[in-house]
A and B are shown apart, each in its own frame.
Chain A
Amino acid sequence: MPARRVIRNLSLPDLIRYRLPVPGVLSILHRVSGALLFALLPAILWLFDLSLRSQASYTRLQQFTGSWLVKVALAALAWSLLHHLAAGIRYLLLDLDLGVERAAARRSAWIVFAVSLPLAACAALAIFGVF
């Protein structure tokens, strides 16, 4: 592996070359997934409302979630929730001073992805009706 370039005061072209370590990738995705869940909260509540109000609205929900565009959005939401949850548990452990050394923190970041990505893939397959 080539030595990492020392970069200070990132400019935009630097940002593309900059190799973010795994915990950094986890961190920015934690923020992205949280923002996505926040932005789509009314949509989640709307779906929740449809799912509970009546048999007719439940059927309407099933029709609405039948389109593949909605399925893609639901899969993105499922990934957001799973990543935010798994990464969040890691942060809670870090706050308790568990695994704060660099090697341990990198390992736990990989574990978060190893848990959240397969689970999100399962959720996506379920949403698309594979099983």
Chain B
Amino acid sequence: MAIGARRLVVGAHYGLRDWLIQRATAVVLAIYVIGLAVAVVLARPIEYDSWGAIFAPLSMKVATLIAIAALAWHAWVGMRDIWMDYVRPTALRMLLELATVLWLAACLVWAVQILWTV
């Protein structure tokens, strides 16, 4: 779809950057998830206090927030791929892409609020 005479607004013309970002954020997420699993095993038995203690240090808050930001970016690239593959009408696809971005941005802000109440 072009906006104006020849300004092409769809297509994967910035695909390599997205490809690389998806891999980089994947590495961040894999390290975080495995690290969190180890922290949970070490903190057993898991109750309210021991669970909360995992997220109490500032370092863990920062790590978790970075992981959630990486998740949002990673999910954006993946969901955009899904919309591009299955949703042909351009206007509908761009609407879904916009909804995806808003959805993920809202989740990111919510995550900040959750983390800093601990």
The segment from A18-26, A50-58, A102-110 found at the interface with B is A50-58
Interface positions of A from 80 to 112, Cβ below 8 Å from B: 81, 85, 88-89, 91-92, 95
Interface positions of B from 70 to 116, Cβ below 8 Å from A: 71, 75, 78-79, 82, 103-104, 107, 110-111, 114
Give Cα A12–Cα B27 distance, bound, in whole angstroms. 37
Asked if B48 and A55 sit within 8 Å, CB to CB, the answer is yes
* B30 CB-CB contact with A under 8 Å: yes
Asked if A34 and B118 sit within 8 Å, CB to CB, the answer is no
Asked if A52 and B118 sit within 8 Å, CB to CB, the answer is yes
Give Cα A87–Cα B33 distance, bound, in whole angstroms. 14
Give Cα A53–Cα B52 distance, bound, in whole angstroms. 9
Asked if A88 and B30 sit within 8 Å, CB to CB, the answer is yes
Per-residue CB contact flags for chain A residues 31-74 toward chain B (1 = under 8 Å, else 0) read 10011011001100100110111010010000000000000000
Interface size class of B (residues with CB under 8 A): 20 to 34
Chain A residues whose C-beta falls within 8 Å of the C-beta of B114 in the assembled complex: 45, 48-49, 52-53
Asked if B51 and A51 sit within 8 Å, CB to CB, the answer is yes
Q: Which residues of B come within 8 Å of A, CB atoms?
A: 23, 26-27, 30, 33, 47-48, 51-52, 55, 71, 75, 78-79, 82, 103-104, 107, 110-111, 114, 117-118
> Contacts A45-B111, A52-B114, A53-B117 hold; do A92 and B75 have CB atoms under 8 A apart?
no
Asked if B82 and A31 sit within 8 Å, CB to CB, the answer is yes
> Contacts A52-B117, A58-B48 hold; do A42 and B107 have CB atoms under 8 A apart?
yes
Asked if B26 and A88 sit within 8 Å, CB to CB, the answer is yes
Name 9 A/B residue pairs within 8 A (Cβ), A-sorted.
A31-B82, A38-B75, A42-B103, A49-B110, A51-B48, A52-B114, A58-B51, A88-B30, A91-B26
Interface size class of A (residues with CB under 8 A): 20 to 34
Give Cα A81–Cα B114 distance, bound, in whole angstroms. 21
Question: Min CB distance, A115 to chain B, in Å?
Answer: 13
Question: Min CB distance, A101 to chain B, in Å?
Answer: 21
Centre residue among A31, A37, A48, A55 by max chain B CB count within 10 A: A48
Chain B residues whose C-beta falls within 8 Å of the C-beta of A37 in the assembled complex: 75
